[in-house]
């Protein structure tokens, strides 16, 4: 049985992305994607290797979109302004692409899947470039990136799960959290000079 006309790997990823972002990553099953495309589930095996292959493709696609989002957010900005813009862009990405955002975990190891690892590393390298331009030594950059990511991911996960119940503006809290981590990064940059 041949492939249905118009069904490509790109259309499979687009359908899976739409489902994951609308209904959550776990809803992006092979059956749901096939239904979305109007094909039988076994036909997807012409394009990918099962559910793990689909999740891998979502993580690659999500990483490419996140990189583009960060590049657009940074524009000509540098230093702390670039970091603030990245933080806001990450938050917006997590809101618009919750399923893709969730596909970033667990993080692959370099020797497990080189293509996936490299795709997921690209947004990290962009942040590292900002830090290096601020004078942060390369040996310290990964620690600061992990701290920034942990802060953002924790905040965004709590926000998505409605973990902030007090009647206080969440946007202001996000800005305070970002300023705290940026202050730490600025201090690290100053001590490196």
pLDDT digits (tens, 9 = 90+) for 83-110: 999 999 999 999 999 999 999 999 999 9
Two structure tokens written together for 133:
């331009």
Q: Of all residues in the chain, what percent carry a pLDDT higher than 90?
A: 92
**The predicted structure's pLDDT at residue 25:** 97
* Phi and psi torsions of 103, nearest 5°: -70, -10
Q: What is the pLDDT of residue 3?
A: 42
How high is the pLDDT of residue 87? Answer: 98
pTM of structure: 0.92
Q: Determine the pLDDT at residue 59.
A: 97
Read off the pLDDT of each residue in 63-70 and give the average, rounded to a whole number.
Answer: 98
User: Please, are residues 28 and 52 in contact by the beta-carbon 8 Å criterion?
Assistant: no
pLDDT in tens, 15-65: 999 999 999 999 999 999 999 999 999 999 988 999 999 999 999 999 999
What's the CA gap between 84 and 1, in Å, rounded?
A: 52
The pLDDT value given to residue 1: 35
Averaged pLDDT of the chain: 94
DSSP structure string for 143-182: HHHHHHHHHHHHHHHHHHTT---SSS-HHHHHHHHHHHHH
Helices (H), the chain: 9-23, 30-37, 50-74, 79-96, 98-102, 114-133, 138-160, 170-192
pLDDT at 2 over 60: no
The backbone torsions φ and ψ at residue 76, rounded to the nearest 5 degrees and listed phi first, read -100, 5
Per-residue model confidence (pLDDT) at position 4? 52
Tokens 């809803």, residue located: 27
- The CA dihedral of 110, 111, 113, 117, to the nearest 10 degrees, is 0
The CA R_g of the chain, rounded to the nearest whole Å, is 19
Residues 92, 13: Cα–Cα separation, whole Å? 21
Q: In the prediction, which pLDDT does 120 show?
A: 97
Place of tokens 């239904």: 35
pLDDT for position 192? 82
pLDDT band with cut points at 50, 70 and 90 for residue 5: low
Predicted pLDDT at 193: 77
Tens digits of residue pLDDT in 127-164:
999 999 999 999 999 999 999 999 999 999 999 999 99
Using DSSP's 3-state secondary structure scheme, residue 14 falls into helix
């Amino acid at each position: 049985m041949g492939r249905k006309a118009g069904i490509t790997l790109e259309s499979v990823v687009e359908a899976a992305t739409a489902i994951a972002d609308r209904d959550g990553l776990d809803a992006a099953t092979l059956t749901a994607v096939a239904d979305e495309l109007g094909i039988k589930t076994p036909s997807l095996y012409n394009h990918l290797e099962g559910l793990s292959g689909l999740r891998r493709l979502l993580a690659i696609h999500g990483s490419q979109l996140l990189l583009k989002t960060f590049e657009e957010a940074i524009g000509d900005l540098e230093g702390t302004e670039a970091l603030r813009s990245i933080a806001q862009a990450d938050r917006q990405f997590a809101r618009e692409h919750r399923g893709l955002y969730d596909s970033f975990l667990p993080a692959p190891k370099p020797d497990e899947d080189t293509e996936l690892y490299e795709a997921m590393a690209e947004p990290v390298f962009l942040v590292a470039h900002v830090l290096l331009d601020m004078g942060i030594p390369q040996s310290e950059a990964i620690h600061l990136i992990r701290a920034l990511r942990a802060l953002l991911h924790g905040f965004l996960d709590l926000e998505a799960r409605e973990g902030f119940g007090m009647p206080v503006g969440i946007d202001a809290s996000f800005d305070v959290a970002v300023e705290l981590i940026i202050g730490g990064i600025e201090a690290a940059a100053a001590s490196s000079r």
